[in-house]
């Protein structure tokens, strides 16, 4: 079978935001800053730094402004610092710090939308419309992420037509990138490809990115399936950190180290130094007092110690 893979893949490391938001402990700002510095040193060019949500609901992100202030003196023009914003209040708080990109989010599941942000899918899109417009007016990129594209903890399997619909709505309000997220990690390769095909009704392949959780060990397989369709940007999380506080049973994101190892083994460039990436994962895992969730990290660490 002759498949044309992309020559280069962009990695968006989401560990500072999506990776840490589900931790029970509050991670100090200085530790988050060190994690971001380590990721950039490893070659990461795009990352989710934080989110401007209410600390009442996600206390782990309560230092959002302080973190961006701490990063400001060393911010690099070739690094895209993204922040997630849920509404205009969040945008107004974020804009002070001039993020390079804002992330808005919808769900392909009506029930998940209600449980997560207390409104319907259509209501959520209407809520995000002024946020996207305000960002674009100030020259800030807008990325839309669709959660529960393959399965939902409340509704079960999701019809791909729902993904097509939410893609259409997000594109209409100005999203320049659409993230296809398997929030609870129940996807398998053919299901992921069907979802991507549905999104392609309203978005070019260059606009689509993949965000896969590894609950059932399918994240790398799903990444490969997306690559086969021409997707060239993926959200990953160093050391496999992450989950979703509103999706019971959702385990970590696919580990950045594992995805980079696979891509490099396929001859696809990422611009990332794998050894430095492993070190970044080791440091944050040690602070959290947990095992590194990357298979590649385990192998390289054992090789280093032997």
Residue positions annotated with a catalytic role: 244
Cβ–Cβ under 8 Å, residues 236 and 256: yes
Q: What one-character DSSP code corresponds to residue 87?
A: S
Cα→Cα distances 52→48, 59, 95, 159, Å: 11, 11, 10, 31
- Report d(CA 131, CA 103) in Å as an integer: 10
Instruction: Report how far residue 145's alpha carbon sits from residue 199's, in angstroms, rounded to the nearest whole number.
Output: 12
Distances (CA, A) of 180 to 43, 163, 263, 288: 24, 8, 19, 28
- Distance set, CA 274 to CA 86, 124, 259 (Å): 33, 38, 10
What CA–CA distance (Å, rounded) separates 251 from 190?
Answer: 21
- Cα(130)–Cα(74) distance, rounded to whole angstroms? 31
Angle at 214 between CA 216 and CA 86, to 5 degrees: 125
CA angle 64, 66, 68 (to 5 degrees): 70
Q: Per residue in 109-147, is it b (16+ CB within 10 Å) or e — as a string?
A: bbebbbbbbeeebeebbebbbebbebbbeeebbbbbbbb
> Are the C-beta atoms of 234 and 272 separated by less than 8 Å?
no
């Amino acid at each position: 079978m002759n498949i044309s893979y992309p020559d280069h893949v962009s990695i968006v490391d989401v560990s500072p935001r999506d990776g840490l938001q589900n931790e029970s402990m509050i991670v100090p700002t200085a530790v988050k800053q060190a994690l971001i510095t380590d990721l950039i040193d490893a070659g990461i060019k795009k990352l989710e730094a934080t989110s401007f949500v209410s600390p009442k609901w996600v206390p782990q992100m309560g230092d959002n402004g302080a973190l961006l202030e701490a990063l400001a003196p060393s911010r690099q023009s070739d690094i895209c610092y993204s922040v997630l914003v849920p509404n205009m209040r969040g945008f107004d708080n974020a804009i002070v710090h001039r993020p390079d990109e804002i992330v808005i989010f919808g769900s392909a599941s009506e029930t998940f939308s209600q449980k997560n942000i207390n409104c319907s899918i259509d209501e959520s899109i209407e809520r995000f419309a002024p946020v996207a417009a305000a960002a674009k007016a100030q020259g800030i990129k807008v990325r839309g992420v669709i959660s529960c594209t393959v399965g939902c903890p409340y509704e079960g399997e999701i019809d791909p037509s729902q993904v097509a619909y939410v893609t259409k709505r997000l594109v209409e309000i100005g999203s320049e990138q659409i993230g296809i997220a398997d929030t609870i990690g129940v996807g398998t390769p053919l299901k992921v490809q069907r979802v991507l095909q549905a999104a392609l009704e309203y978005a070019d392949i260059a606009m689509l990115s993949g965000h896969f959780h590894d609950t059932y060990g399918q994240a790398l397989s799903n990444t490969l399936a997306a690559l086969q369709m021409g997707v060239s940007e993926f959200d990953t999380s160093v050391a496999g950190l992450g989950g979703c506080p509103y999706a019971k049973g959702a385990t970590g994101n696919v580990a950045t180290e594992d995805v980079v190892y696979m891509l490099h083994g396929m001859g696809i460039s990422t611009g990332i130094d794998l050894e430095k990436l492993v070190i970044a994962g080791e440091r944050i895992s040690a602070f959290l007092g947990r095992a590194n969730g990357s298979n590649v990290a385990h192998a390289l660490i054992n090789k280093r110690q032997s």
